[in-house]
Structure 1
């Protein structure tokens, strides 16, 4: 294996609780009920893709756009007053990958304007060899376009790269792109028993690093 491609939200940065709260606030403002079932359907998807989902769900494009606008405002407001929280084990894993001469990329569904600020504030931007953003691709996860772009920029073939994800849509995208998926879900989020997707399940980045060290 030659590289690790990281999702950002929920893998590198502990931003999923912030995003979830921002969506809850947007739903409250628009008078809708924000449920866990809805959140699981949008987890790991780009805001553009989520907006399309809401447009279909509620048959109202203006309402969908309003939800996304409020969510972005609330999300940005949080980080004006709070530091970026990095997930446990991130820096240690990056140090280990450097020691093994493995390439590193971040491939996030977030827009470049948003993601770069979070990566810069956390000190993670400079630690990556390659950065890919949702605003650079036309197809969102579970389409593998984002990961394929990252592999191309790393100049490696997909089967030589681990993809670390916290969402089912990301794991599916990694499968479809021919990558080696590593699944570290935020919460217990099991695939259905008859799913065709392959992945290795870990509880944390630290656990993944321990397993990786045994293989190298």
Structure 2
């Protein structure tokens, strides 16, 4: 089946924001005497919506606060960090330009809130590349449920089996596979056993460009 659309995750795929998310969580939690490490964030919260992140830490550390308060604080710190330090992942613009040349539809399906999408797209000047953006904030369930990817396919008006997803987290890969979409895993741990459910594996986005160029007739034309 020829592919008509590529749907990107955002954090860790388009922008190098996972360290920023980790720092934002630690800063928000420090008010309550809690400090979390990058390893803990990767284990417990990577790929989740911010409401689920806040709920996770409140439960793990038995914090006697409204998780919504923690959620707001995490987002405040994150917005500031993105504005000050946000950087694109290697190969982002090259891949987007390549997909535009093929006249493919391009979408975003992220666990991040709409406000975070806007912060990232403004910082990296991405608005002109994407046909649609979707936040799991507006879904009943976040990743690993497929909801946000199904919404993206519907908005793009492309069948799910004609979509390629680019993901970097296990929850995200599960969501894409649950949506019956071809899934490219792009991250430093792409060869880890948990990611073997993906359809192709890359360390960086520029490798995706090279792969697609080599498979262009089979994938797109």
Q: State TM-score, norm by structure 1.
A: 0.89
**Aligned equivalents of 2:69, 2:189: Cα separation in 1:** 28
- Match in the other structure for 1:72: 75
**Distance apart, 1:215 and its partner CA:** 1.0
Query: Do 2:136 and 2:147's aligned partners in 1 also have CA atoms closer than 8 Å?
Result: no
Encode CA deviations 1:53-112: one digit per residue, 9 max, x unaligned: 2343344461644433332221122244x2531112111111111111211001111111
- Match in the other structure for 1:125: 127
Total equivalences in the alignment: 213
Instruction: Give the root-mean-square deviation of aligned CA atoms.
Output: 2.2
- Match in the other structure for 1:86: 88
**Distance apart, 1:190 and its partner CA:** 2.4
Encode CA deviations 1:151-197: one digit per residue, 9 max, x unaligned: 001111111111101111000111111011111125568244xx883
Query: Do 2:51 and 2:67's aligned partners in 1 also have CA atoms closer than 8 Å?
Result: no
Q: Please list every run of at least 4 consecutive aligned residues from structure 1 whose deviation after the TM superposition is greater than 3 angstroms.
A: 58-61, 63-67, 186-189
1:196–1:94 distance in 2 versus 1, CA, 3 Å: closer
**Distance apart, 1:210 and its partner CA:** 0.6
Q: State TM-score, norm by structure 2.
A: 0.87
- Is residue 110 from structure 1 mapped to residue 112 from structure 2 by the alignment? yes
The counterpart of 1:49, out of the listed 42, 45, 52, is 52
Could you list the runs of 5+ residues in structure 1 that have no partner in the other structure? none
**Aligned equivalents of 1:97, 1:164: Cα separation in 2:** 13
**Aligned equivalents of 1:100, 1:199: Cα separation in 2:** 21
Query: Do 1:111 and 1:133's aligned partners in 2 also have CA atoms closer than 8 Å?
Result: yes
Could you list the runs of 5+ residues in structure 2 that have no partner in the other structure? 217-221
Query: Do 1:184 and 1:204's aligned partners in 2 also have CA atoms closer than 8 Å?
Result: yes
The counterpart of 1:153, out of the listed 147, 152, 155, is 155
**Aligned equivalents of 2:13, 2:64: Cα separation in 1:** 31
